[in-house]
Amino acid sequence: MKINWGNGIVIAFALFMTFILYFVFEVQSNSKYDNDLVVEEYYKHDSHFQEEMARVQNAHDLQQKPSITYSKEGVKVTFPNIFENDKVKGNVLLYRPSNKKFDFNTKITLVNSSLVIPQKKMIKGRWDVNMEWQYEGKKYLTKEVIYVN
């Protein structure tokens, strides 16, 4: 059989489509490629957006803000000395955008104005840290992105 340029284009197109379909099938069927939603109950979460922005603004308006840093020990949340340890309530959500299986919450219990989340609880990569807290009845939300080495 003689292959002319028309048949060559059809064969090349068919091979390319097969190649693409193979990768689509591989990604959809392999559990290694988890394609979950970023946030469960997206619309429910979105309906509280204005409240969230008010808490972010409250945190932004503070003269002295808490800091979230990463060191060899783990994630360290440090509050300024103007905050009394026992009056700060809330929790810290460490959120892994690439895999929700690694997400976890930690209740804020300050020791010397700090909270340390051990590094052994985390794997390497990007983590979004969302700290929802309140002090003397006022609600705050602090967001940071950290990279664990």
Under CATH, which number does the domain 42-148 receive? 2.60.40.10
Phi-psi region of 14 (alpha: psi -120 to 50; beta: other; left: phi over 0): alpha
Beta carbons of 139 and 129 less than 8 angstroms apart:
no
d(CA 94, CA 140): 16
Chain segment 57-74, per-residue pLDDT in tens: 999 999 999 999 888 888
pLDDT for the residue 119: 86
pTM above 0.85, yes or no: no
Chain segment 9-44, per-residue pLDDT in tens: 999 999 999 999 999 888 888 767 665 555 666 666
- Find tokens 């193979």 and name the residue: 22
Q: What is the DSSP string of 8-21?
A: HHHHHHHHHHHHHH
Residue 149, SS3? Answer: coil
